[in-house]
Chains A and B, each alone.
Chain A
Amino acid sequence: MFAAIHATPGDSENLLRLAQEFSPQVEKTAADTVALDADGLERIHGLPQQIAGALARRAVERGLQASVAIAANLDTAVHAARGFAGVNVIPYGDEAKYLGSLPLTLLGPTPEMQETLERWGIRRFRDLAALPELGLAERLGPEGLHLHKLARGAGDRPLVPIREPLHFEEEAELDYPLELLEPLMFVLARLLSDLRARLVSHGLATNALRLRLKLENRGEHTRTLRFPVPMLDTKAFLKLFDLDLGAHPPPSPVVKVWLEAEPAKPRAAQTGLFIPISPEPEKLELTLARLKSLVGDGNVGSPELLDTHRPGAFEMRRHGDAEMRRHGDTAMPMRAIRPPRTARVQMASGQPVHVQADGVRGHVISSAGPWRTSGDWWTHDPWARDEWDVALSDGALYRIYSERGRWFVEGSYD
């Protein structure tokens, strides 16, 4: 059973909301017409007449001038709603009789078809329905047959429901404010489980989870977890939130929780015998989160060299985000000392003879230098220094440099 509502144009959004109040399966047939699946509504409203009456009353309450029709098939309901004013219920089997008086323009024929039918003197549904099916097929083809079927009220088109944009959000209002993370994790576990079930039912995974916590002091605490690949592992999500909230706890007790998932198509990967091993993305994400909680956020990642000649210039990127770059420059295998250690260097005849710094002390046995380098003089952070490579009596090889009259040990060669 289908219901159709036809209203004055310009109220299409209002009309849609009206239909959605009655059924989740709603089709927007035209700007001024919506149809809905009315099966099951008899349990709430009663007979079809009562369903149609309820629809009409609600339309009036919403300020719509609407005509309502209920029929056994979708096309009949739509044509009746568009053709007759008020409330109409078309009994099953009598569709052709009820629709007979409607003008053919309601069927929306092509201009050529309309002209042909006009010339034949066929202007109403009943005129077309009375024509023999075989003769009509010979003269007007499939389109003529389709119109004939609609005119008889025998359409069998399924309803094409509007797909609302998918929104995956769960929320939980707490009975009392939660101060500790552990009970909050229980709440999150339930929300994550519900979200996962909804994602699975749509054949989706998620690549970002957004957690919003309403706090007792009326503030909000928001955390977002982003994943390099779409994931569906509830245990991993929970552990990641545990680690994240452990590092960034809410400043006040929590009274309400919202959890939103960004849907994404699940990862499809083909494995092979000869593909080198690599960490599973889900496991790696968890390992990275654990490492970050252990050594700090900025201390885990892949290094990326910066496009500069400044010694030791690099930045940490999230592992997997670093760009593929090839470096052809030769550089020495050096162990860096961060930050460079301040040193006292004795000079003789313009060459270093003794170096002393924290953990580094010795006479210079051999040296090479100075190598003068400078750069970034066009910025607010220029650098210029004289570098020396020295072999000290402690047995190690170091790189030392002087900058603005001060000496530093930059690292050792190894």
Chain B
Amino acid sequence: MAAVALGRDFEFKVVRPEVCPTGIAEVDALAGGLPQGCLTEIYGPASSGRTSLMLAAMAQSTGSENVCALVDASDAFDPASAAAAGVQLERLLWVRCGGNAEHALKAADLLVQGGGFGLVVMDLADTPAIAARRISMTSWFRLRRAVEHTPTVLLVVEQQPHAKTCASLTLEMRREQVSWPGAPDAPSCARLLRGMRVHVDRRKPVPAIAASFESRW
């Protein structure tokens, strides 16, 4: 009896972190939202909807009156797209690293250490895979350690997953189809790029599950 009671006392409890919505209902249903105090990875090839998800999360966060920071490794952020997606630019701190992934890593570390941000995004989506792979696991562990026990969501956007065990949530993105309204044989001047259907796979935590959402404009 005593041994059973002791076992009950030491029962392993999983503490689930609080989550912030991404602003896309399908992704929230899939992943439960972006966990606070954790590192989340979004990866996929070009035009797979990573930026759409990133902007949706930033819009959601700034809409909740949080201050967000974007570490833009390749200077690829388009303020007009962000404003149209609902991001409140006055609540956004944009750090342009001019293609230097090492600077991006240091800047993200400074921002997470500084504290007070609702969302810190490190955008490595256009960083060549070779350069991204050079980021050591120590750096990823350092980032994860820095964001732990804070209410900040650390979001990393890239082509391939690199954070490995440091990421609490990993989402793989790919484009399913592109919407070009108009007859397929119509001249291009009679067509318009309207949006695309994005497929999202939750790779971590297991089990892997999938969802799709429409990115329209």
Contact = CB atoms under 8 A, between A and B. Distances in A.
Contact of A411 (B76, B191, B217): B76
Contacts of A284: 114, 116
Interface stretch (A12-20, A196-204, A294-302, A376-384): A294-302
B103 interface: yes
Interface stretch (B23-31, B44-52, B163-171): B44-52
B95 interface: yes
A269 interface: no
B196 interface: yes
A8 interface: no
B211 interface: no
Interface in B136-184: 151, 175, 178, 180
Contact of A278 (B67, B77, B103, B106): B67
Nearest to A280: B116
B73 to A, nearest CB: 10
B110 interface: yes
B201 interface: no
B64 A276 contact: yes
A396 to B, nearest CB: 4
Interface stretch (B8-16, B82-90, B202-210): B82-90
Nearest to B186: A368
A301 B96 CA distance: 9
A414 B47 contact: yes
Interface string B93-119: 111111010010011001101111110
A394 B55 CA distance: 24
Contact of B110 (A278, A287, A319, A366): A287
Most chain B CB inside 10 Å of its own CB: which residue of A276, A287, A314, A389: A287
Contacts of A32: none
Given A302-B92, A368-B180, A337 B76 contact: yes
Contacts of A158: none
B47 A283 contact: no
A366 B178 contact: yes
Interface residues of B, number: 62
Nearest to B88: A324
Contacts of B110: 287, 290-291, 294
Contacts of B49: 414
B188 A367 contact: yes
A135 interface: no
Contacts of A29: none
Interface in A316-360: 316, 319, 322-325, 327, 329-338, 351
Given A287-B110, A302-B90, A324-B90, A334 B81 contact: yes
B66 interface: yes
Contacts of A332: 81, 84, 193, 217
B90 A397 contact: no
Interface string A265-297: 000000000001111100110111011001110
B193 A323 contact: no
A222 B67 CA distance: 33
Contacts of B95: 291, 295, 299-300
Given A284-B116, A303-B89, A277 B66 contact: yes
B121 interface: no
Contacts of B75: 336, 338
30 contacts: A278-B116, A283-B115, A283-B116, A287-B110, A288-B93, A300-B94, A303-B79, A305-B83, A305-B89, A312-B78, A312-B80, A314-B80, A319-B93, A329-B84, A331-B80, A331-B83, A332-B81, A333-B78, A333-B215, A368-B189, A368-B192, A389-B193, A391-B178, A395-B47, A395-B175, A396-B47, A413-B47, A414-B49, A414-B51, A414-B125
List the 8 closest A-B pairs by CB distance, nearest first.
A279-B116, A414-B51, A287-B114, A331-B84, A396-B46, A303-B79, A327-B83, A299-B96
Interface of A: 276-280, 283-284, 286-288, 290-291, 294-296, 299-305, 311-312, 314, 316, 319, 322-325, 327, 329-338, 351, 366-370, 388-389, 391, 394-397, 411-414
Interface of B: 45-52, 55, 64-67, 75-85, 88-98, 100, 103, 106-107, 110-111, 113-118, 125-126, 151, 175, 178, 180, 187-189, 191-193, 196, 215, 217
